[in-house]
Structure 1
């Protein structure tokens, strides 16, 4: 392998340009070769991908065992994002290929989304505006009086970098914050005033439940029928993590039967929905947004920069802090 001419293979369908990635790569390796593929990269794998020095891939790109086992010269797989559930981590480890995500790059953006979801649930301004056209004004325009935000309880599931930042922002608004994380013992309180509880206890008293854990075998369908039965009838579920952490059919049933008030989801089990149709999109009290909670000018710039730097570090034989295996 020519150390001065590494092959960087970018697999992506999200970005419109790669100027930042190209600049970072060429600054380090002026004669580097960069090739691009869509998620349907089977032919490219045979044509050049098997000899890629490093792969930089979007989190939506599937990198299964069959792909990774055919990599002959790969020194690392760098992902554009926090998730890595579409990469066969076991196979990558067997082949001694480090895999990186980009940790903590969008905590501000996720926190803004969660706070917006809470505020919108209390005061949906667009719905209030529509009531004018029904001849309603003042008190009659509100079907049910909301509680103040500082009277609400938020349960955070997963108290990592993002979950803890969401907690900090919510506390600043006067919201009481509980957290469930299996790594942290219940009945503890941290320095900023978050109470750690069991999942059952938190679900029983929370007005809002916000999910921030990783999708692994243990967390798939973590929130299902049993959990929805524990929740308060006014509870709103917020999910910005991974869709499969929630059993979507159970969620639909819980909302339809009014076991809970509703949900605001930025992630669903199958993304994007084929033909823009899916049962989860049809329930009026479930709001689905197109996985945009992490987006801002600043977050995307950091994501691109760090993923590319991770790729370069792995090619140079360094193990980045973002390594997941």
Structure 2
């Protein structure tokens, strides 16, 4: 009997074509809608492997019912939607998609930094609304990027890629990480500092840290108040690392200058989200890795991981 695979979001058929003879594949038929919880649970009870996205909670309830499940392939670098420890206890392998999206996400992170600093989105809306009637010396004036200090919180693969881009703008690069990376310091010319020193001295504070119990709401009122009033906060990691109410107040009260956000605590956000009411917020709909090339590689990697797991082989990118 062929193993059963459930894919929780519609993907193009060309990706699953090579596996159709080996697997029985079922897939949620919608690309733009989240799979219904009862549907996911139903398929999890029968599946040998799940292909999931960040919108699906692979929690104890699901894992307890998934009696045949051997592996979960998550279409993301992050995996805070999965109870990895409990899955491990049950002998279920969890994989993610690192590396293939590193440069793409770093590109987006730096693009968001630049757009926020130079008020690109706000300026474009200014023209479209018919408000550009003359030139003035400080019309849509933003902040310089070159020769400024960037502080990267979380020096993983993507953090390193952001640092390389920052060096191209002749920025002074500080970083904070759970562990110091002297090789990265030597290779990229970056400096390790304490979290407190980073947030006090950086002109741009960039969150690249994963969401864990330790990092949840690490950016709160006390942190924003320590930042420079001219500081710009960028988050392309996970929304949960930020206390959004505190960030809103910091931006509204001009404790910090601006924020560029690709991620939010609860996604998707609606048009009435408080942060969207502020002119000094540049918001994106979680598109860090959203290029055709990279998302295709991520899908292919998920399927390859499932293939390895079902064959009893070591997956390409297991969550450690």
Q: TM-score, normalised by structure 2?
A: 0.90
The answer as to 2:100 corresponding to 1:105 is yes
8 Å contact from structure 2 (residues 121, 282) kept in 1:
no
Give the match for residue 277 of structure 2: 282
8 Å contact from structure 1 (residues 24, 308) kept in 2:
no
Give the match for residue 24 of structure 1: 18
Q: CA deviation at 1:265?
A: 0.3
In structure 2, C-alpha distance between the alignment counterparts of 1:271 and 1:145, rounded to whole Å: 29
8 Å contact from structure 2 (residues 259, 280) kept in 1:
yes
Give the match for residue 11 of structure 1: 8
Structure 2 counterparts to residues 146-295 of structure 1, below 5 A: 146-147=143-144, 149-184=145-180, 189-273=185-269, 275-295=270-290
Q: TM-score, normalised by structure 1?
A: 0.89
For structure 2, which runs of at least 5 residues remain unmatched after alignment? 29-33
Secondary structure of 2:173's counterpart equals strand
8 Å contact from structure 2 (residues 76, 97) kept in 1:
yes
Q: Cα gap change, 1:276/1:119 in structure 2, threshold over 3 Å: closer, same or farther? A: closer
In structure 2, C-alpha distance between the alignment counterparts of 1:49 and 1:116, rounded to whole Å: 38
Q: CA deviation at 1:31?
A: 4.5
Number of equivalenced pairs: 311
For structure 1, which runs of at least 5 residues remain unmatched after alignment? none
Structure 2 counterparts to residues 34-183 of structure 1, below 5 A: 34-37=25-28, 39-43=35-39, 45-46=41-42, 48-125=43-120, 127-128=122-123, 130=126, 133-137=131-135, 139-142=137-140, 144=141, 146-147=143-144, 149-183=145-179
In structure 2, C-alpha distance between the alignment counterparts of 1:128 and 1:217, rounded to whole Å: 38
Q: Cα gap change, 1:42/1:133 in structure 2, threshold over 3 Å: closer, same or farther? A: closer
Q: Please report the RMSD computed on the Cα atoms of aligned residues, expressed in angstroms.
A: 2.2
8 Å contact from structure 1 (residues 128, 141) kept in 2:
no
8 Å contact from structure 1 (residues 39, 62) kept in 2:
no
In structure 2, C-alpha distance between the alignment counterparts of 1:58 and 1:72, rounded to whole Å: 21
Q: CA deviation at 1:255?
A: 0.7
Q: Cα gap change, 1:108/1:185 in structure 2, threshold over 3 Å: closer, same or farther? A: closer
Q: CA deviation at 1:134?
A: 4.6
8 Å contact from structure 2 (residues 119, 142) kept in 1:
no
